[in-house]
Amino acid sequence: MKKDIFARLSSGESVPYTDPEYWKIHKVVEQTKKLSVKLNNDDDSEEIRQL
């Protein structure tokens, strides 16, 4: 059984763009970008902690 793409990346394995699980990376990158915008635009420490 093949390891999850994130486990493979964590172990230093190269993962090509053509990998069938690569869409998972794209999804996490998009979520991270959205969270980054929220964090950079919020000045309420309590709200930031909840994110």
Q: What is the pLDDT of residue 15?
A: 93
Which amino acid, 20?
P
DSSP 11: T
37 contacts 51 by C-beta, under 8 angstroms: no
0.85 exceeded by pTM: no
Kindly tell me if the per-residue pLDDT of 51 is higher than 70: no
For residue 48, give every residue at least 6 positions away whose Cβ sits within 8 Å of its Cβ, in sequence order, or none. Answer: 39, 42
Q: Which two tokens stand for residue 34?
A: 């959205």
Structural domain boundaries in the chain: 5-50
pLDDT in tens, 1-50: 778 999 999 999 999 999 999 999 999 999 999 988 888 877 777 777 77
